[in-house]
C-alpha cells in the first residue's frame, strides 16, 4: 500500500493508494476517453491559439454556450496576429452576451504582447506564458498540457469532484487552500500518462459521468478502483463549505431621449464590465425611491437634468459576488450638457438603430429590444 500525505496550510490529506491502481486508473480512463469523449472543436486541434481562446471562453461559461461564440470568434480573428491587430471594441462585440468581459480584454492585451515579444508565436514555457495578462495557473496548465503536452495538471471543479470521490479527500473543494491537495493527487495519477490526454480525460469524466448529482458510477471506467463507490460514500463527496449569502444591489438607470437620440456611455476600461456601453444611472440609496435615484444618478454621473416619462422594465442579473436588480426608466432631457463624472469615459447620442453597433452587457439586450419598439415622437 502506498500512502500519500499532502499538507496544504492547515489541511492535511492522507491518501491510500496502491501503485498498480495508479497505473490502472490512467489506462482505463484514457481508453474510455478515446472511445467516448464529446467531439468538441478545440479538442480536434493542437493549435495553441485555438486552445487558448477556448479555455478563456470556457472559464465561467458552459460548453454549449461557448460553441457558437468560439466558431464566430475564430472566423473573425483566425489567428493571433488578427486578434492582436483588432480594435478592443470589435473584440468586445464578438464577446457580447458571454459575460466576464475582462477575459476578452486580457486575451486581446495578451495577443498584442505575444505579437510584440515573440513575433506572434505563443510561448511554450511556463514563465513566459504565465506572465501574460489573464493567464492564471489554470489557463497556463490547460494550454501547455493540451497544446504542448507538458506535465501540468488541470484541476477544475469537475476534476476536484472526481478526485474527492476517488480518494475520499475531506478537504473542501471550494476552499482555495485545498487546491494544493487536489493538484498533488492529480499529479500522482497523471505521472504514468501523456499529460494532455490525461487532463482532457479526467475533465471529461467529471463533466459527463462523475456528475455532481446522480453520477453514473455504473458506466464509470474507474469504478472498481474508486474509494467512494466501493465504500458507498459517493453522496458524501465532495465536501463543501457552505456558501456565503450574496448581496443584492438595486440600480436605477435612464434611457435619456433628446431630439430622437439616446444617451449611452462607455464604462472605463478597467474594472467590472470595462469597455462596454450602458445607460446612465446609479445605485438606489437606502430609503430612496428608484425614480429619484434615477434622476439623481443621471445628474451626478453625466450632469444632465432629466424628467422621467415612464417605467420601461426591471432586469435582474448576477455576478460571482453579488446580484443586481435594475429599474430602467424612459427619461426626457430637460437641460445641461454631458459631463462624465462617474464610471464612464466616453458618451454618444445614438439612434435606436445604431445602438446595436455598441457592445452592451447581456442583461441590457432586453432594454435595447424594448427601445426599438418604442415610439420616439
Ligand atoms: S465510480 Fe462513481 S464516484 Fe467514483 S469516479 Fe466513477 S462516477 Fe465518480
Q: Which residues contact 256 (CB under 8 A, 6 or more apart)?
A: 262, 263, 279, 280, 298, 304, 306, 331, 332, 333
What pLDDT score was predicted for residue 11?
54
Q: How would you class 308 by CB atoms within 10 Å of its CB: exposed for 0-12, middle for 13-18, buried for 19 or more?
A: middle
Of the candidates 179, 177, 186, the one whose C-alpha atom is nearest the C-alpha of residue 9 is 177
What pLDDT score was predicted for residue 3?
52
Which of 44, 55, 307, 356 does the annotation list as catalytic? 55
Is 307 designated active site? no
pLDDT for residue 8 is more than 60:
no
Per-chain mean pLDDT for the chain: 92
Distance 186 CA to ligand 1 centre (A): 15
Tell how far CA 103 is from the center of its chain: 7
pLDDT for residue 13 is more than 90:
no
Q: Which of 234, 236, 238 to mutate to test the pocket of ligand 1 (most atoms within 8 A of CB)?
A: 234
pLDDT for residue 171 is more than 70:
yes
What pLDDT score was predicted for residue 2?
43
Q: How far is it, in rounded angstroms, from Cα 16 to Cα 130?
A: 33
Of 191 and 29, more confident: 29
Average pLDDT over residues 286-296: 95
What pLDDT score was predicted for residue 114?
98
Distances (CA, A) of 240 to 24, 210, 236, 237, 244: 28, 16, 10, 8, 12
Closest CA to ligand 1's atom 2: 217
Q: How far is it, in rounded angstroms, from Cα 65 to Cα 294?
A: 33
Q: How far is it, in rounded angstroms, from Cα 205 to Cα 216?
A: 10
What pLDDT score was predicted for residue 19?
65
Average pLDDT over residues 307-333: 93
Distance 162 CA to ligand 1 centre (A): 7
Q: How far is it, in rounded angstroms, from Cα 344 to Cα 303?
A: 12
pLDDT for residue 368 is more than 60:
yes
Q: How far is it, in rounded angstroms, from Cα 284 to Cα 262?
A: 22
Q: Which of 29, 158, 162 to mutate to test the pocket of ligand 1 (most atoms within 8 A of CB)?
A: 162
In this structure, the strands spanning 248-258 and 323-335 are parallel
Q: Which residues contact 274 (CB under 8 A, 6 or more apart)?
A: 101, 102, 105, 267, 268
Q: How far is it, in rounded angstroms, from Cα 163 to Cα 185?
A: 7
Of the candidates 369, 47, 190, 292, the one whose C-alpha atom is nearest the C-alpha of residue 182 is 190
Predicted confidence (pLDDT) per residue in 210-240, tens digit: 999 999 999 999 999 999 999 999 999 999 9
Average pLDDT over residues 55-83: 96
In a 3-state reduction of DSSP, which class is residue 14?
strand
Q: How far is it, in rounded angstroms, from Cα 59 to Cα 80?
A: 19
pLDDT band at 193 (very low <50, low <70, confident <90, very high): confident
pLDDT band at 202 (very low <50, low <70, confident <90, very high): very high
* Domains within the chain, CATH numbers bracketed: 2-236 (1.10.340.30), 248-372 (3.90.79.10)
What pLDDT score was predicted for residue 150?
96
Q: Is 113 in the pocket of ligand 1 (CB under 6 A)?
A: no
pLDDT for residue 10 is more than 80:
no
What pLDDT score was predicted for residue 191?
86
pLDDT band at 4 (very low <50, low <70, confident <90, very high): low
Distance 163 CA to ligand 1 centre (A): 9
What pLDDT score was predicted for residue 28?
96
Average pLDDT over residues 32-54: 96
| DSSP 8-state secondary structure symbol assigned to residue 153 | -
Task: Answer for the pair 255, 307: CB distance below 8 angstroms, yes or no.
Answer: no
What pLDDT score was predicted for residue 1?
41
Amino acid at each position: 500500500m502506498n500512502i500519500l500525505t499532502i499538507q496544504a496550510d492547515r489541511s492535511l490529506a492522507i491518501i491510500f493508494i496502491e501503485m498498480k491502481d495508479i497505473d490502472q486508473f490512467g489506462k482505463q480512463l484514457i481508453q474510455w476517453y478515446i472511445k467516448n469523449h464529446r467531439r468538441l472543436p478545440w479538442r480536434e486541434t493542437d493549435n495553441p491559439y485555438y486552445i487558448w481562446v477556448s479555455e478563456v471562453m470556457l472559464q465561467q461559461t458552459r460548453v454549449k454556450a461557448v460553441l457558437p461564440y468560439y466558431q464566430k470568434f475564430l472566423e473573425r480573428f483566425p489567428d493571433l496576429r488578427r486578434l492582436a491587430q483588432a480594435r478592443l471594441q470589435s473584440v468586445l462585440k464578438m464577446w457580447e452576451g458571454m459575460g466576464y468581459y475582462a477575459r476578452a480584454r486580457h486575451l486581446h492585451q495578451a495577443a498584442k504582447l505575444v505579437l510584440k515579444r515573440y513575433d506572434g508565436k505563443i510561448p511554450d514555457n511556463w514563465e513566459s506564458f504565465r506572465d501574460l495578462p489573464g493567464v492564471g495557473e489554470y489557463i497556463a496548465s490547460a494550454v501547455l498540457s493540451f497544446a504542448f503536452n507538458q506535465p501540468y495538471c488541470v484541476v477544475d471543479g469537475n476534476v476536484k469532484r472526481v478526485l474527492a470521490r476517488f480518494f475520499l479527500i475531506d478537504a473542501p473543494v471550494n476552499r482555495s487552500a485545498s487546491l494544493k491537495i487536489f493538484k498533488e493527487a492529480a499529479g500522482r495519477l497523471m505521472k504514468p500518462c501523456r499529460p494532455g490526454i490525461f487532463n482532457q480525460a479526467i475533465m471529461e469524466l467529471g463533466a459527463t459521468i462523475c456528475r455532481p448529482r446522480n453520477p453514473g458510477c455504473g458506466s464509470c471506467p474507474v469504478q472498481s478502483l474508486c474509494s467512494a463507490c466501493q465504500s458507498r460514500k459517493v453522496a458524501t463527496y465532495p465536501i463543501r463549505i457552505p456558501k456565503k449569502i450574496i448581496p443584492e444591489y438595486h440600480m436605477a438607470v435612464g434611457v435619456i431621449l433628446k431630439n430622437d437620440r439616446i444617451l449611452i456611455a462607455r464604462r472605463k476600461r478597467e474594472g467590472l464590465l470595462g469597455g462596454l456601453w450602458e445607460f446612465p444611472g446609479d445605485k438606489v440609496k437606502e430609503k430612496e425611491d428608484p425614480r429619484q435615484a434615477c434622476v439623481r444618478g443621471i445628474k451626478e454621473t453625466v450632469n444632465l437634468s432629466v424628467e422621467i416619462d415612464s417605467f420601461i422594465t426591471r432586469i435582474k442579473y448576477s455576478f460571482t459576488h453579488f446580484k443586481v436588480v435594475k429599474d430602467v426608466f424612459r427619461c426626457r432631457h430637460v437641460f445641461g450638457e454631458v459631463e462624465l463624472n462617474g464610471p464612464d469615459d466616453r458618451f454618444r447620442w445614438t439612434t435606436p438603430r445604431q445602438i446595436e453597433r455598441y457592445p452592451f452587457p447581456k442583461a441590457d439586450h432586453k432594454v435595447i429590444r424594448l427601445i426599438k419598439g418604442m415610439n420616439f415622437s
